[in-house]
């Protein structure tokens, strides 16, 4: 493919995939365990149930299941895949990255592979990077996200146990002859002043000189109200900027896909943009918050009931720990 042809190239989602573990944990079960009033969790988060991985399952297992589905849906030769990106905050191991294992298990022998640790915004960043890769190389990219957050939350802490879940999602991003297809605008954001709002403190290089942890690396959310307000502000602002850069307005959006943090955040961002619930994609009620995985999981899981038509505008947005986030405008 010539450089001129690549400059005229767009991207398309050739395959969709998603996977959730079999075990269902209802909000009612958590409420009984923590002594909370019936309906307390659903009333505050909109989450009625979430999925939890089996003890023998690792993130690579969830990612393989979702990616297998996406690759089968795309029906493209595996040799066409030149890049595998895995957005995860819970890799199989701290070292090495999990993406090379994912590519190996999928038989993607000519693909580069790397993890992205962008917390809840990881898939959004991976999508923007993959879109650029496909446009400049003419090769296919597998973009996956997977997390097992049930092992990083304290079951005694209602603030995190009520929200987080395990799941995976994936898309296959391929070249399109339509230059106006794919990511047509993006606005990425960060705010390191809120670095410690959501953390797994007992990890990384901020450890004792021995490098040893206490063996209980659990997530801590220090101020839920501040997380809510700053995440909503970041997502809404990024959406407006991305739409403006694309020369579009909120009324041009056919499918709005915000990070499935909780129902209140989804509603707050949609209302700030003037996007109604009939255009908003959501899976949070039955599957909870699986961080970066919520975007591709929801996009794939709702495909059967939503018609993603050619030319439709999809607006994606996310914000999470770091703080890191942003928005992207994707045209089918």
CB 99 within 8 A of CB 85: yes
Dist CA 154 CA 238 (whole Å): 31
Structure tokens at 21: 């573990």
**Residue 255 a catalytic site member:** no
Q: Which of 18, 255, 259, 262 is flagged as catalytic?
A: 259
- Rounded to the nearest angstrom, the gap between the alpha carbon of residue 94 and the centroid of all alpha carbons in its chain is 20
Task: Say if residue 307's pLDDT is above 50.
Answer: yes
Please indicate whether residue 239 is annotated as part of the active site. Answer: no
What is the C-alpha to C-alpha distance for residues 140 and 134, in angstroms, rounded to an integer? 6
- Specify the pairing of strand 166-176 against strand 140-148: antiparallel
Measured between alpha carbons, how far is 66 from 145 in angstroms, rounded to an integer?
9
Q: Looking at the predicted structure, is the pLDDT value of residue 314 above 60?
A: yes
Q: Judge residue 287's burial from the number of C-beta atoms within 10 Å of its C-beta, 0-12 exposed, 13-18 middle, 19 or more buried.
A: buried
Catalytic hit among 19, 120, 147, 255: 120
**Res. 282: pLDDT tops 50:** yes
Interval 87-131: pLDDT, tens:
999 999 989 999 999 999 999 999 999 999 989 999 999 999 999
What is the per-residue pLDDT for 215? Answer: 53
Q: How many CB atoms lie within 10 A of CB 33?
A: 13
Residue 150's contacts (CB-CB under 8 Å, 6 or more residues apart) are 52, 53, 164, 165, 166
Whole-number average pLDDT of the chain: 92
Say if CB 130 and CB 85 are below 8 A apart: yes
Q: Is 262 among the residues known to form the active site?
A: no
**pLDDT confidence band for 14 (50 / 70 / 90):** very high
Share of residues in the chain with pLDDT > 70 (%): 91
- Quick one: pLDDT band at residue 212, thresholds 50, 70, 90? low
Asked whether this chain's domains 3-176 and 182-331 adopt the same fold, the reply is: yes
What pLDDT does 172 receive? 98
User: Which homologous superfamily is 182-331 in?
Assistant: Thiolase/Chalcone synthase (3.40.47.10)
The answer to pTM > 0.85 is yes
Q: How far is CA 97 from CA 91, 160, 232, 268, 291, in A?
A: 7, 26, 31, 35, 18
Which of 19, 147, 239, 289 is an active site residue?
A: 289
Strands 182-190 and 324-331: antiparallel
Domains of the chain by residue range: 3-176, 182-331
Residues 67-89: tens digit of each pLDDT? 999 999 999 999 999 999 999 99
> pLDDT class for 275, splitting at 50, 70, 90?
very high
248-269 pLDDT, tens per residue?
A: 999 999 999 999 999 999 999 9
Q: Given this model, what pLDDT does residue 232 score?
A: 95
Rounded to whole angstroms, the Cα distance separating 133 from 142 reads: 11
Does residue 6 register a pLDDT over 60?
Answer: no
For helices 224-246 and 263-273, angle between their N-to-C axes, nearest 10 degrees: 40
So what CATH class is 3-176?
A: alpha beta
Which distant-in-sequence residues (6+ apart) come within 8 Å of 268 by Cβ? 228, 232
For the cut 50, the answer to whether the pLDDT of residue 4 exceeds it is no
CA atoms within 13 A on the CB side of 34: 21
2 pLDDT band (50/70/90 cuts)?
very low
Separation of alpha carbons 248 and 306, rounded Å: 22
State yes or no: cis peptide before 234, omega within 30 of 0.
no
Q: Which 8-state DSSP code applies to residue 146? A: E
Beta bridge partners of 12: 174
Q: Residue 69 has which token pair? A: 């589905």
């Amino acid at each position: 493919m010539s450089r001129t042809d690549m400059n005229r190239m767009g991207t398309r989602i050739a395959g969709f995939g998603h996977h959730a573990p079999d075990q269902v944990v209802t909000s009612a079960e958590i409420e009984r365990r923590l002594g909370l009033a019936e309906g307390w969790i659903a009333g505050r988060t909109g989450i009625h149930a979430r999925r939890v991985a089996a003890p023998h399952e690792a993130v690579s297992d969830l990612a393989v299941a979702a990616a297998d589905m996406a690759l089968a849906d795309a029906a493209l030769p595996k040799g066409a895949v030149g890049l595998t990106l895995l957005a995860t905050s819970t890799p199989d191991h701290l070292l090495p990255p999990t993406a090379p294992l994912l590519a190996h298990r999928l038989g993607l022998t000519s693909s580069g592979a790397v993890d992205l640790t962008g917390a809840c915004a990881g898939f959004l960043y991976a999508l923007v990077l993959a879109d650029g890769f496909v446009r400049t190389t003419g090769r296919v990219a597998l973009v996956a996200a997977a997390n097992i957050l049930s092992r990083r939350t304290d079951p005694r802490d209602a603030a995190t146990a009520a929200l987080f879940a395990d799941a995976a999602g994936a898309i296959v991003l391929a070249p399109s002859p339509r230059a106006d297809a794919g990511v047509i605008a993006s606005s990425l954001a960060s705010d390191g002043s809120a670095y410690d709002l959501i953390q797994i403190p007992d990890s990384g290089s901020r450890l004792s000189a021995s490098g040893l942890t206490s063996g209980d690396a659990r997530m801590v959310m220090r101020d839920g109200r501040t997380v809510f307000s700053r995440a909503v502000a970041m997502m809404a602002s990024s959406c407006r900027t991305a739409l403006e850069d694309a020369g579009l307005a909120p009324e041009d959006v056919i499918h709005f896909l915000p990070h499935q943090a909780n129902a209140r955040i989804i509603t707050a961002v949609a209302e700030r943009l003037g996007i109604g619930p009939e255009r908003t994609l959501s899976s949070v009620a039955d599957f909870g918050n699986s961080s970066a995985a919520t975007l591709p999981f929801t996009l794939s899981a709702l495909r059967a009931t939503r018609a993603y038509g050619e030319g439709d505008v999809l607006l994606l947005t996310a914000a999470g720990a770091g703080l890191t986030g942003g928005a992207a405008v994707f045209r089918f």
